[in-house]
Structure 1
């Protein structure tokens, strides 16, 4: 099993600090724990762990900050530590510089004293603003040599300006990094500083800068100050407005991936852009699907740099707009799906900068939800249970409050069933990667059950079966490793890894791996709705490997095509069996790829289960990247039913496997697409991820 983000693909001069394993820490700060342990018995009481933190406190980076390298598995900040709320400079500095991991919530405005002060942040920290209230005034943060695994999020950092526009005396930055690695800077408002808003210096690497507003500044975002060509950065969905230079300037950067940024220079203002994106020295830059409005010299490069452009939009720009050389493929490091450039201005104006839903316990005027009961599983006996099913069995029937089952790294060979009587259960791996915690079994449809009562059947072959509403799986792998080659005489090779037959199911940061019929997204009954939201995940298979009658969204994920047991390339991604009047499968902002032959896989075919002509199967694939493995005519018939009589369509897909509309490749109109998006699919349910 492979995962795109598993490792860096180029050599490094040295290694950084090794990260220790997660720790279960005592309750403190803003965390509160209820009395739900009375239902479970004394030894099942809630444990004070990071699992109790809200989703924003457990958020992890994408882009280069997600790559496992230098002894660090992605970037997740202080999620394994306590959550604390700070309201003054002394408290902020105390926790930001501490050796332990912390999630530090900045509530209110903190003024730096003296002006220009930069707090020296230690490793394993998340510093996050509470809604839109977290402001740092007159200074910022410094991340020194070897500091790693830091998230700076949802803050406004502003107003260190000392009255000199091209200030060479005051090195007052919002965020300065000198030799740090694995840093995520996200959803901040950075403006009006004496020097840089962001300075990434001295071989700082594995950095992602996303969804920020950067404005009212001269030297905005500089990267370099080194002769070494080792740094890797991802810069996406940032809004640069009224910034003169370094937007950014990238000097000697090994891999600079810039996409979906908006650079805006409004006419008639006091700030005029000198240039936009700049590739200097021996930088290799890929710049895609970004928008430049009114910017002078929007894209420039040195003769020694490589800069590849694709899909960018320029309006009202003047001067240099350059490209040349060979860059790199970011997907060899991590998965991503760029938004179309036409959507970027609206997306960023609505979504960049601090959000009211990050850093807060709940929506305005509501109380925080009760802390979940936490049960632990570890094969070595250090948890309460040694098996996942044993922990599920401990959840009482009729459970009405959240239960988080935290599973230590290891391979758990067992089947797991969450029955309909046990809602509100989360299965969460505690490792640094979703590959660390694996639940696996090898049953197939045609296999005889151990008790001799018949065969498993397709649904019964599942390694993990979820029949309870309000279920979530996070940061783990569910696999069916049935050996099809060794069982060619078996009648029934369907081998399900994960089956859901419930409503409001979230699959967040997981791998679901198998061959035929990998992921069964079902409902409890034909007349029952079953909504599923999958994000940031991988599904691996070859034949009908996403199938069923659920209303399901697969968002920002990777569908990995796999060769069949005999080494041949042929298969089908989806096989929906949607009821008439319901929504089926929506694949959005995702990637379809794999090590298979070109033109060998269909995107889907209609499954009229049991020959039921009343069904109306539906798959929509939109805003996604399709590899050359996808057939030019991507839909096909099944069981005597024509796909053209059902609902199969695409919209705004890209990549070598995408194609123009035709009778064999229907595309949605813009009007139709407006009703086939995630909010319309999920209705009144907002999945609890973030």
Structure 2
């Protein structure tokens, strides 16, 4: 890994990092390598120097102050606090470092059906994102990012309730055009539906916790997850639906060899009473797209999700994967896309949720080797 980028990890001892994962780490002092400090208690002007460093009250203010065309990481040290921001990173080599994983929180409440502040329409799924990454070589470590939209309350409302939204997608982290080689280390990412929406580029998640309940890791991007926790949040079973929750919804372009790869991750549930056999590993997402002959489900989105050496709790469905509806080319009835027509595989998983089932396709050792970390990260500037 490039020393400048790996410096993100060098701010504390290994013991402190281990403690941070449990939320008990001591606060980490700003390093002399930090370019900018963000402090919610800052009383001075934006960018005014405190202890020799430019200091801002908001994370967005700090990002905006960075050069537009950096060629090496510029670190922003974020002090403990709750930052109610919708953050957009459109500059390369921005590195966010939190002072404490649990107590440094970027949080905003927004959902796809919510009206824009200017009244020009609804936010849409992408517009609901708390953090939007639009540039290369973004990294974040030791903080929390959450979309706090109250999905459970909305979900419990009667379908005829005028206050109920039928667009409850609420993104915590979005990667979009321009993003690539995105890095998250020891970051807690929380939401419900579409918590993590990876639409472009490649991303690496190390020792992160991602939580949600409906397609909470989704999109067309490529991402490697190593030693992460995928925490399924409880949701009531919906009438006529074979599952209550679903972890992944990949829409991987057919030209990409892989989509989402999970190595040595833990698949957990937020409540031990969450029903067993209620959560799907994933389903194939074919999002609607405009073509010369109409708008319909993209036939070239052949989703890819692969779980290798993962520990799965009992909430996982015995059959693992489920079908997903899409917009038909002709007529109003939906077209159904089957998991066996996508690239959904497993290898050497364990735990009560790693059941043997004819619908859960297993890789061979040779095939699994194609998803080794060093292969997937080849050419990265880490």
TM range (shorter): 0.7 to 0.9
What's 2:82 paired with? 411
Q: Once the 2 structures are TM-superposed, how far is the Cα of residue 55 of structure 1 from its aligned partner?
A: 3.0
> Using the alignment, how far apart are the partners of 2:128 and 2:153 within structure 1?
17
* Counterpart among 186, 193, 217 of residue 509 in structure 1: 186
Residue 60 to residue 484, structure 1, CA distance change in 2 (3 Å): same
> Using the alignment, how far apart are the partners of 2:236 and 2:209 within structure 1?
20
* Counterpart among 585, 588, 592 of residue 267 in structure 2: 592
What's 1:490 paired with? 165
- Cα shift readout 1:248-273 (whole Å, capped 9, x = no counterpart): xxxxxxxxxxxxxxxxxxxxxxxxxx
Q: Once the 2 structures are TM-superposed, how far is the Cα of residue 587 of structure 1 from its aligned partner?
A: 0.6
Q: Secondary structure at the match of 1:586?
A: strand
Report matched runs for 1:327-342 at 5 Å.
none
> Using the alignment, how far apart are the partners of 1:68 and 1:616 within structure 2?
37
Q: Once the 2 structures are TM-superposed, how far is the Cα of residue 637 of structure 1 from its aligned partner?
A: 0.9
Report matched runs for 1:456-605 at 5 Å.
456-487=123-154, 488=157, 489-501=164-176, 502-523=179-200, 530-564=201-235, 570-582=244-256, 583-594=258-269, 595=271, 596-605=274-283
Asked if residue 655 in structure 1 is aligned to residue 333 in structure 2, the reply is no
When normalised by structure 1's length, the TM-score is 0.46
Contact kept? 1:405, 1:428, Cα under 8 Å: yes
Q: Secondary structure at the match of 2:225?
A: strand
Q: Secondary structure at the match of 1:628?
A: coil
- Cα shift readout 1:183-228 (whole Å, capped 9, x = no counterpart): xxxxxxxxxxxxxxxxxxxxxxxxxxxxxxxxxxxxxxxxxxxxxx
- Cα shift readout 1:448-483 (whole Å, capped 9, x = no counterpart): 111011111111100111111100010000000101
Contact kept? 1:403, 1:425, Cα under 8 Å: yes
Unaligned runs of 5+ in 1: 1-32, 34-50, 83-370, 524-529
Report matched runs for 1:383-402 at 5 Å.
384-402=55-73
Q: Which has the higher contact order (CA 8 A, sep 6+)?
A: 2
Asked if residue 439 in structure 1 is aligned to residue 68 in structure 2, the reply is no
State the number of aligned residues: 334
> Using the alignment, how far apart are the partners of 1:643 and 1:625 within structure 2?
21
Report matched runs for 1:74-153 at 5 Å.
74=25, 80=29
> Using the alignment, how far apart are the partners of 1:584 and 1:493 within structure 2?
24
* Counterpart among 625, 629, 635 of residue 321 in structure 2: 635
Q: Once the 2 structures are TM-superposed, how far is the Cα of residue 493 of structure 1 from its aligned partner?
A: 0.3
Asked if residue 606 in structure 1 is aligned to residue 284 in structure 2, the reply is yes
Q: Once the 2 structures are TM-superposed, how far is the Cα of residue 66 of structure 1 from its aligned partner?
A: 6.0
Unaligned runs of 5+ in 2: 44-49, 158-163, 289-296, 326-335
Q: Secondary structure at the match of 1:509?
A: strand
Contact kept? 1:60, 1:75, Cα under 8 Å: no
Contact kept? 1:622, 1:653, Cα under 8 Å: yes
Flag the structure with larger Rg.
1
- Cα shift readout 1:580-612 (whole Å, capped 9, x = no counterpart): 131100011010011221100000001111110
> Using the alignment, how far apart are the partners of 1:507 and 1:67 within structure 2?
14
Q: Secondary structure at the match of 2:317?
A: coil
What's 2:375 paired with? 680
Contact kept? 1:599, 1:628, Cα under 8 Å: yes
What's 2:115 paired with? 448
* Counterpart among 27, 42, 66 of residue 381 in structure 1: 42
- Cα shift readout 1:265-297 (whole Å, capped 9, x = no counterpart): xxxxxxxxxxxxxxxxxxxxxxxxxxxxxxxxx
| RMSD (Å), alpha carbons | 2.7
Contact kept? 2:185, 2:205, Cα under 8 Å: yes
Contact kept? 1:372, 1:401, Cα under 8 Å: no
Q: Once the 2 structures are TM-superposed, how far is the Cα of residue 680 of structure 1 from its aligned partner?
A: 2.1
Q: Once the 2 structures are TM-superposed, how far is the Cα of residue 500 of structure 1 from its aligned partner?
A: 1.6
> Using the alignment, how far apart are the partners of 1:59 and 1:636 within structure 2?
43
What's 2:94 paired with? 425
> Using the alignment, how far apart are the partners of 2:123 and 2:22 within structure 1?
38
> Using the alignment, how far apart are the partners of 2:58 and 2:25 within structure 1?
27
Q: Secondary structure at the match of 2:352?
A: coil
> Using the alignment, how far apart are the partners of 1:64 and 1:425 within structure 2?
24
- Cα shift readout 1:538-564 (whole Å, capped 9, x = no counterpart): 001000000011110111010001012
- Cα shift readout 1:165-193 (whole Å, capped 9, x = no counterpart): xxxxxxxxxxxxxxxxxxxxxxxxxxxxx
Contact kept? 1:407, 1:437, Cα under 8 Å: yes
Q: Secondary structure at the match of 1:575?
A: strand
- Cα shift readout 1:44-67 (whole Å, capped 9, x = no counterpart): xxxxxxx99563454534998667
Q: Secondary structure at the match of 2:376?
A: helix
Residue 67 to residue 57, structure 1, CA distance change in 2 (3 Å): closer
* Counterpart among 320, 335, 341 of residue 645 in structure 1: 341
Contact kept? 1:52, 1:372, Cα under 8 Å: no
Residue 514 to residue 65, structure 1, CA distance change in 2 (3 Å): closer
Q: Secondary structure at the match of 2:168?
A: coil
Residue 436 to residue 629, structure 1, CA distance change in 2 (3 Å): same
Residue 67 to residue 377, structure 1, CA distance change in 2 (3 Å): closer
What's 1:12 paired with? none
